[in-house]
Chain A
Amino acid sequence: MKYLIGYTADQGGREALALGVLLARSSGGRIVVCTILPETWGHPSMARVDAEYAQFLNEHASKSLEKARKSVGEQVPAEFMSRAAPSAREGLFSVAADLSVDGLVLGSARTAPSGRFLMGSVTASVLHSASLPVALALRGYAPDSKARLSRITCAYTGAPSAAATVRNAAALCEKYKVPLRLVTIVVRDQQMYPTGAGYKAENTVSNQWRAQATAAQKKLIAELPPSLGATGAIGDGKTWKAAFASLPWKDAEIIAIGSSSLGPLLQVFLGSNAAKIINNAPVPCVILPRQG
């Protein structure tokens, strides 16, 4: 497996690098660390300001890549490069296509609270058009330098389109040789009141949803190969954050989520529930492109 890491010389870049190294180590794969530079004007200009600027960018890129090289060390096979492109998204996509990588790894926006992810502008544009799985590193993500992926949790909605996501996640589990866990989130919305249906009417709906999701998980797990060791769990809470907190998480675990079924085929397209998951999950997310 070859992972393309969208690298910047800041904390977000370092965290993306850490996640990419973890994934490569766990799958016996390699990483490509790439810094995207702004494209400069290709023609000579007066006083060569453009060339000077390009030179500055190149120096900046090689300096930051040098830092990355040091931090990766001998952990996994790695190559380092920079590419000039009109936008970070286009740059990443063109490198990904040229080197035929298997996945993209990106970091969080700098304003995210520690241990959570917040989408920056690059991630947002990538997540709405990538045709590769995209992994997102949390703020402050620093796995152990020898850690290997321990488990893949797949966010499962119970909708018919979600079965395809689970199969994708199961394929990932086989590659990494880790167990699969299906997780369905039950968010107990605010009760609307006052009504004669009682002050706990919404809990009845949530409990029913819980029962329904548990049944759907069981059914799907029975269809998966037993060698996967798939399990199911329900995250239940008042908010998305509380629901995630109600679940046990392992070190070096990731959560795989599917793309919205409203998006184009074979592309990542973030749905509203997926957006809530990536903003609240306590482990890095991998967003899988939509399959069939």
Chain B
Amino acid sequence: MSETIGFGTRLTRRKPVEMLVSDTAGADAEHGHLKRGITLFQLIMFGVGSTIGTGIFFVLAETVPKAGPAVIVSFAIAGVVAGLTALCYAEMASMIPVSGSSYSYAYATLGEGVAYFVAACLILEYGISAAAVAVGWSGYLNKVFEIVFGSGLPASLSAAPLVSDGESLGFGGEGVINLPAAILVFLCCLLLIRGSRESARVNAIMVLIKMGVLAMFILIAVTGFSASNLQPFAPQGFAGVSMAAGTIFFTYVGLDAVSTAGEEVENPRRNLPLAIITALIIVTSLYVLVALTALGVQPASEFKGQEAGLATILENLTGSSWPALVLAVGAIISVFSVTLVVLYGQTRILFAMSRDGMLPEVFHRVNPRSQSPVACTVVVAIFVGAIAAFVPDAILWDLTSMGTLVAFAVVSTGVIILRYTRPDMTRGFKVPLFPVLPILSILSCIYLISRLNPAVFELFGIWLAIAAVFYFAYSARNSRLERLGALGSKPASGS
């Protein structure tokens, strides 16, 4: 390979927009001609559907002990941060005339180095959150076993061997392996290998199931509401509230999917922010209501370590098992679909990276029979399955939040930089209150990051180090742009 290209050039080279367009072109020859087919209502539903279900079923057990009843404030804070970042992301997405991931947007606007870094964070957002969701699913499955058969799986088969004491990660858990979580990951990957896709219709049904069981929870729990449980409101002060907000940010992962729809939406300038904000309001209200009614039923001290929390609360409140059973089954069905969607996203992000030469070719080899990237899916299944089986959920949530927050802080920074370096590029949507909103977004991301579990910083650092070594050893040399550069045709600056 040509040694004339320095790492500086490599890190800043941008993927030409035409390449991005041809990568995602459809079957009809009308490349670049886009149909704006998604309405505002559909977009709001995408937002709500992709956001709810990732965490509200599990996250209270982890966050109420930190924040006390003030956890509802944490939900609101995390929601605002999610909204700010999603708006910034929407501007970057609207600069590129095709729908992609934040990795591909960063590649076309900010350069290879930033794109690779964002991708490393995205792997946490997708791969790790898939594992986290699978662990939560395992809790609800166990709950159903308890209700139906009278006893759940033994702890050795349903809990991770690693435990976190908030500072560091170590062995000593009562479990050996979280078998149901690993099995769920493999089942989902089997479906993906067979080429099954969750269609818009199935997704809509899943959204209804999720919202239905959460509404049921609120309606039943409100009957046992006792205001005395909300005292003291914030036992650990704002420190606890913001710590919980960092973890809770995980439950808003998925809202960013709305931003990628920029080019498909009718009137994006009006509809994108409207959809993001409306979806956010719906989701946050639902979260806050669930948290509030749950807190009204039992004192904050009882949340700690409560697996399948919402179902357990209903069981304790009503004294009968069927409402808990309905809720647990609803959670199992809808969380299954969330795991499928998240794993799907992960495989397609790795696929795109591999096509760009950032990862070995095996990640973008398509199996002739199923016409899906089987090898990539299997690798993802093995890694995510292993993480779900052996790592405790508290770490996974914080790690997901970490990856997502860092990625979005980068995107928000990118939005500011691009306003100055590429003022000429057309933007379908512009962030309102320009320098203020992105700066707020960056600052709030950094603040929430600083409040995360310290053990997560260590893991994140290790992960970034591995990613950086891989980049300089492999990706920089094998990038598809390297070949273009070697041919002497410098990649055109996309506009």
Contact = CB atoms under 8 A, between A and B. Distances in A.
Interface of A: 157-159, 162, 186-209, 212-213, 236-238, 242-243, 246, 273
Contacts of A199: 99, 260-261, 264
A195 B345 contact: yes
A156 B97 CA distance: 34
Contacts of B26: 188, 200, 203
A196 B24 contact: no
B348 A197 contact: yes
- Quick one: which of B22, B98, B345, B368 has the most chain A CB within 10 A? B368
Interface in B91-113: 98-102, 104
A238 B372 CA distance: 15
B342 to A, nearest CB: 8
B58 interface: no
Interface residues of B, number: 49
A192 B344 CA distance: 8
B115 interface: no
Interface string B368-379: 110111000000
Given A192-B197, A212-B366, A203 B24 contact: yes
Interface stretch (B44-52, B137-145, B418-426, B455-463): B44-52
Interface stretch (B9-17, B211-219, B221-229, B250-258): B250-258
Interface of B: 22-27, 46-47, 49-50, 98-102, 104, 122, 125-126, 195, 197-200, 203, 254, 256-258, 260-261, 264, 341-342, 344-345, 348-349, 351-352, 355, 364-366, 368-369, 371-373
Given A186-B371, A193-B257, A194-B50, A200 B98 contact: yes
Contacts of A159: 368-369
Contact of B348 (A201, A209, A238, A246): A201
Contact of B371 (A195, A196, A205, A238): A205
Contacts of A162: 368
Contacts of A208: 351, 355, 364, 366, 373
Nearest to A212: B366
B104 A198 contact: yes
B100 to A, nearest CB: 4
Contacts of B198: 192
A208 B368 CA distance: 11
Nearest to B369: A159
- A-B pairs with the 6 shortest C-beta distances? A195-B345, A200-B24, A194-B257, A197-B348, A194-B50, A199-B99
Contacts of A242: 27
A194 B261 CA distance: 9
B46 A194 contact: yes
Contacts of A158: 368
A24 B339 CA distance: 56
B203 A193 contact: yes
Contact of A192 (B99, B122, B341, B365): B341
Contact of B197 (A190, A198, A236): A190
Contact of B27 (A190, A191, A236): A236
Given A192-B344, A195-B257, A203-B25, 17 more contacts: A186-B371, A192-B199, A192-B341, A193-B200, A194-B46, A194-B47, A194-B258, A195-B50, A197-B345, A199-B264, A201-B101, A201-B345, A204-B351, A207-B25, A208-B351, A208-B364, A208-B366
Nearest to A271: B369
A199 B197 CA distance: 13
Given A196-B260, A199-B260, A205 B373 contact: yes
A237 B355 CA distance: 22
Contacts of A201: 24, 100-101, 345, 348, 351-352
A197 B25 contact: no
Given A189-B195, A190-B199, A195 B348 contact: yes
Contacts of A273: 369
Contacts of B98: 198, 200
A238 B27 contact: yes
B495 to A, nearest CB: 20
Nearest to A187: B371
A158 to B, nearest CB: 4
Contacts of A194: 46-47, 49-50, 203, 254, 257-258, 261, 341
Contacts of A195: 50, 257, 341-342, 344-345, 348
14 contacts: A188-B26, A193-B257, A194-B50, A194-B258, A195-B257, A195-B344, A196-B256, A197-B348, A197-B352, A200-B26, A200-B98, A202-B197, A203-B25, A204-B352
B145 to A, nearest CB: 30
B284 to A, nearest CB: 18
Given A195-B344, A198-B99, A200-B98, A206 B371 contact: yes
B429 to A, nearest CB: 15
Contacts of B341: 192-195
Given A194-B203, A194-B341, A203-B26, A209 B122 contact: no
Given A162-B368, A212-B365, A196 B351 contact: no
A198 to B, nearest CB: 4
Nearest to B23: A204
A197 B344 contact: yes
B323 to A, nearest CB: 30
A77 to B, nearest CB: 41
B345 A189 contact: no
B197 A189 contact: yes
Nearest to B47: A194
Contacts of B104: 198
A4 B341 CA distance: 51
A209 B260 contact: no
A198 B368 contact: no
Contact of B24 (A204, A212, A237, A238): A204
B446 to A, nearest CB: 21
Contacts of A198: 24, 98-101, 104, 260, 348
A191 B47 CA distance: 16
A203 to B, nearest CB: 5
Given A201-B348, A208-B364, A157 B260 contact: no
Nearest to B373: A205
